[in-house]
Structure 1
Amino acid sequence: MLKIIRQALLILLFLTVLTGVAYPLAVTGLAQILFPSQANGSLIEHDGKALGSSLIGQPFADPKYFWSRPSATTPFANNSTSSTGSNLGPTNSALTDAVKQRIDALHAADPGNDAPTPVDLVTASGSGLDPEISPAAAQYQLARVARVRGRTQADVAKLVAEATEGRQFGILGEPRVNVLRLNLLLDGKL
């Protein structure tokens, strides 16, 4: 009986060291070597200060900025510790009310804009933390941002093009605009 208990404890110790120490250290070391930016949070920095992550959406409400996709996280928007979708279906009155409020906010910020509202500006994503919007959503906001900042639309459009990423590997997904990167370009911090 003592022999079995000793073997069980040795196996427990060995597996604890293997799966609790060696494996995490190996994976972390490989990630630091092969993907250092991603392993450290894909941070966007300016003057040695982290301004945010390119992988997590941040809220922007000032009309001089491009607005991100709405967030469904709780207890506040873009809460990276609470990634979740709203789980509201298309017939749910709470969703239709939220979409109407978001459309009203977009129209209040840019009353002259009569273009169709892109869906990604009024609906939350599955994670609630999308850092990107569609090029159509950026185009929808372009005139407002240019007007509020006193810049030409062509000037702002160049920054939108610079912040736009194409399809991954040329075939996967859709083109997208990283909102944090775009707003930092507008502020001259990138």
Structure 2
Amino acid sequence: MRSPTWIRQHLAALRALLVFTALLGLVYPLAVFAVAQLPGLKDKADGSLVKANGKLVGSASIGQSFADKDGNPLRQYFQTRPSNAGDGYDPTASGASNLGPEDVVDTLPDPKLVAAGKEDENARESLLTQVCERSRAVGELEGVDGSRPFCTPGGVGAVLAVFGPRAKDGTVPHPTRVVSLNEQEGAVKTPFVATYRGVKVEPARYGEDYARGLVVPVRGNAPAEPAVPADAVTASGSGLDPHISPEYARLQVRRVARARGVTPAQVEALVREDRTGRSLGFMGEPVVNVLRLNLALDAKYPARD
């Protein structure tokens, strides 16, 4: 006697469930695990863990901070890229800021909270100001010009709100008022430019709405190719990039050599040894792994006390 259709369908579904559970839940994971144990793959599968003197110090695949407890860069170490992963270099919160190139206007903090030593949770730095701030800090650390186009000397985005009648092309040929959007009243004595098209530039006031003004980024006199490379001022998509560009590594050589009491040539030799070329000879760019480089420095040229 033939079973009813609905019973046959349920039995077929049960058989399919058991087969795919065995294949995808057991066979496939075990096969992947077995392949991952092959020579050349095992280290990467285990997390590319790096040890020094028998102690686990990090992963060659995950960026980490080389700073003191107050967040100040340790001068004897090469610094990696900035990070937006959690509070910085948090592997459990990998991610980017998701801010784009048009994000140029800061949300200013409440001056009352600042005066009280408190943090305004509603305040936010634009991507432009983050880049300008980082570039200035790196320039000071490395002893080079940290200026960049569209950045003020104070390290914020050089952006104006220009008010007045608009022309057909959207410009404001005869401004009636000009405000430096990222320079807050009380925080700066004078804006980065004194006048714009004959109109005195004002610092921004907390709580004022400047949405009707035309947003005008000002390039300034910074060199077209800044001394501080792009990867020194921008976070990676994961926030955990373990590599820096050879250009950023070269920028840090003199500082690291001075801190370790050796010549720049000696440090440069280690940088060259650590440098990795393009993947398969054509993908990506040459890079330097910061953790491995710093460990090589510790082994060959220990930092002076």
Confirm or deny a common fold (TM above 0.5): yes
State the Cα distance separating 1:171 from its structure 2 match.
2.4
Partner of 1:162: 273
Task: Find the aligned partners of 2:80 and 2:37 in 1 and give their Cα distance.
Answer: 30
Task: Find the aligned partners of 1:87 and 1:29 in 2 and give their Cα distance.
Answer: 37
Partner of 1:79: 90
- Structure (1/2) with the larger helix percentage: 1
Task: Find the aligned partners of 2:89 and 2:37 in 1 and give their Cα distance.
Answer: 27
Partner of 1:180: 291
Task: Find the aligned partners of 1:30 and 1:185 in 2 and give their Cα distance.
Answer: 31
Task: Find the aligned partners of 1:49 and 1:2 in 2 and give their Cα distance.
Answer: 60
Equivalent in 230, 233, 240 of residue 119 of structure 1: 230
Offset from partner CA, 1:110-161 (integer Å, 9 cap, x none):
3x32371111000111221111111000011111111122211111111111
Residue type at the aligned position of 1:25: L
Residue type at the aligned position of 1:142: V
Partner of 1:107: 139
Equivalent in 74, 83, 86 of residue 62 of structure 1: 74
Partner of 2:54: 48
**Aligned ranges 1:20-35 → 2 under 5 Å:** 20-34=25-39, 35=41
Task: Find the aligned partners of 2:12 and 2:44 in 1 and give their Cα distance.
Answer: 41
Secondary structure of 1:81 counterpart: helix
Deviation larger for 42-51 or 145-154: 42-51
Task: Find the aligned partners of 1:107 and 1:63 in 2 and give their Cα distance.
Answer: 13
Task: Find the aligned partners of 2:52 and 2:253 in 1 and give their Cα distance.
Answer: 24
Secondary structure of 2:102 counterpart: coil
How much is the aligned-residue C-alpha RMSD, in angstroms?
A: 1.8
Runs of 5+ in structure 1 lacking a partner?
none
Task: Find the aligned partners of 1:106 and 1:84 in 2 and give their Cα distance.
Answer: 23
State the Cα distance separating 1:187 from its structure 2 match.
1.0
Task: Find the aligned partners of 1:170 and 1:2 in 2 and give their Cα distance.
Answer: 59
Task: Find the aligned partners of 2:92 and 2:140 in 1 and give their Cα distance.
Answer: 31
Residue type at the aligned position of 2:37: Q
State the Cα distance separating 1:63 from its structure 2 match.
1.6
TM-score (ref. length: structure 1): 0.90
Task: Find the aligned partners of 2:18 and 2:239 in 1 and give their Cα distance.
Answer: 40
Contact 2:139/2:228 (8 A) holds in 1: no
Secondary structure of 2:139 counterpart: helix
TM-score (ref. length: structure 2): 0.58
Task: Find the aligned partners of 1:122 and 1:105 in 2 and give their Cα distance.
Answer: 9
State the Cα distance separating 1:109 from its structure 2 match.
2.1
Task: Find the aligned partners of 2:95 and 2:48 in 1 and give their Cα distance.
Answer: 20
Task: Find the aligned partners of 1:106 and 1:144 in 2 and give their Cα distance.
Answer: 11
Q: Give runs of ≥4 in structure 1 deviating > 6 Å.
A: none
State the Cα distance separating 1:16 from its structure 2 match.
1.0
The alignment of Structure 1 onto Structure 2 pairs a total of residues equal to: 187
